[in-house]
Amino acid sequence: MYEDWVIGILKQHKMGLVASLPCDKAKNLCFLLPEHFRHICLTREEDGIGVCAGSALTGIRPILVIQSSGLGNSLNALMSLTMSYNLPLPILASWRGVENETIPTQVPFNAAIPGILDATGVSYTLIQDSSEFWKIGDIITDAFENSRPHVALIKPGAWEGPESCRNGSPPPTRSRELSFTYHRRVREPVMTRFDAIRIISRFLDRQVLVSNIGVPSKELYAMHDRPLNFYMLGSYTQASPIGFGIAIGTSRPVWVIDGDGSILGTGILPVIGSSRPENLTIFCLDNGAFGSTGNQPTPANRDTDIELLAIASGFKNTVKVETESDLERVIQGLGTGPTFVHVMLKPGNADVRTIPLTPHQIRDRFVAALK
């Protein structure tokens, strides 16, 4: 089967992590991936950009396997994270909308992909049929030698061959019993995000710390700059995916400073909850606002409880904190994760300067400190 050939190529190139969201055209490959690699099952392709970026920072070789339509919601992360920080990322994309396509909504975006990738400077290679699968090896080599994304656009016909639908291992039983009691009283917040970052900074030692984009990263830099801080300068919603990818590749504790707006915009919580990385802690600094853009309210301002989202996503360790002393006690008592710390804050930004580091400087000193 052609899928076995692709699996062999990935093994030959020592791929250490495969993140994927299935496509019907490449379904047999998607069934095989968890049997052969450390595999992350995504719910949104864009989150795979962050997971693979974090993995690459630790030295693990990642690859993303998706349907080509997923490139649409991944372009900003590809450009502001993978390309801006010059991180390697081979992408195998089953190319929809161009060959015997029966779903008309697949055509408009997918037919335009080569032009879109040309315009954005993302490298790509066409794979017309199965005889060209050898090109995948060259794509992987280019991505890692040049520290950049490289997309394989694989036409659906390339997967056609002897009929053999491989359903992988039998799925685990879904029978279960769910029962929990949840009662929280949320008081009017007294801390600002800067107050919370100050508390978190007091406990930093060997932890990796990934900080959300905009003012949170600037506040962390002003409060406690260190090489093991990974400052995000773009790629909204990708703080927790990056932290998750790093946690896969290191035994260090990995902390993430994320925000309510960012958490609400990603699908990574169920992925983390099902994968259960023991060294990952997410601090959701919830000020009920998009703080970096003027404090416009988010849905978490009143009616959405993000701790409940974490519980529903499979996090076994969650806590809500409202005061500096509570936050200190929680940090001192952190155990096996994944842990979700929901920190209730009032809106407000500290008067801090822009981080005077380039993406390459942030990357290089972070990678050196992580070794």
Tokens 């989150």 — which residue? 47
Tokens 């699996």 — which residue? 7
Tokens 């400077």 — which residue? 121
CA 209, CA 32: separation in Å to the nearest integer?
Answer: 34
pTM: 0.95
**Residue pair 77/268 in contact by the 8 Å Cβ criterion:** no
Q: Which two tokens stand for residue 362?
A: 């942030």
Q: What is the pLDDT of residue 165?
A: 55
Average pLDDT over residues 238-246: 98
Helix (H/G/I), strand (E/B), else coil: 365: helix
Helix (H/G/I), strand (E/B), else coil: 51: helix
Residue 236 has pLDDT above 90, yes or no: yes
Q: Which CATH class is domain 193-370?
A: alpha beta
| 125-128-133-139 Cα dihedral, nearest 10 degrees | 0
Spans of all domains in the chain: 2-159, 193-370
Alpha helix stretches (DSSP H) within the chain: 2-12, 27-36, 45-57, 75-77, 107-111, 113-120, 135-145, 193-202, 215-224, 239-249, 260-264, 268-275, 306-312, 324-332, 359-370
CA 370, CA 246: separation in Å to the nearest integer?
Answer: 10
Q: What is the pLDDT of residue 292?
A: 82
Of 325, 319, 317, whose CA–CA distance to 343 is shortest? 319
Considering only residues 61 and 166, tell me which one the structure prediction assigns the higher pLDDT.
61
Instruction: Say which CATH topology domain 2-159 has.
Output: Rossmann fold (3.40.50)
Q: What is the pLDDT of residue 337?
A: 93
Of 35, 40, 5, whose CA–CA distance to 19 is shortest? 40
Q: What is the pLDDT of residues 78-109, one digit of tens each?
A: 999 999 999 999 999 999 999 888 899 999 99
Mean pLDDT of the chain: 94
CA 104, CA 102: separation in Å to the nearest integer?
Answer: 6
Q: What is the pLDDT of residue 104?
A: 93
86: left (phi over 0), alpha (psi -120 to 50) or beta: left
Please state at what angle helix 268-275 crosses helix 239-249, rounded to 10 degrees: 20
Q: Do 193-370 and 2-159 have the same topology in CATH? A: yes
Helix (H/G/I), strand (E/B), else coil: 359: helix
Q: In 316-348, which positions are buried (b, 16+ CB within 10 angstroms) versus exposed (e)?
A: eebbbbbbeebbeebbeebeebbbbbbbbbebb
Of 81, 79, 63, 68, whose CA–CA distance to 144 is shortest? 63
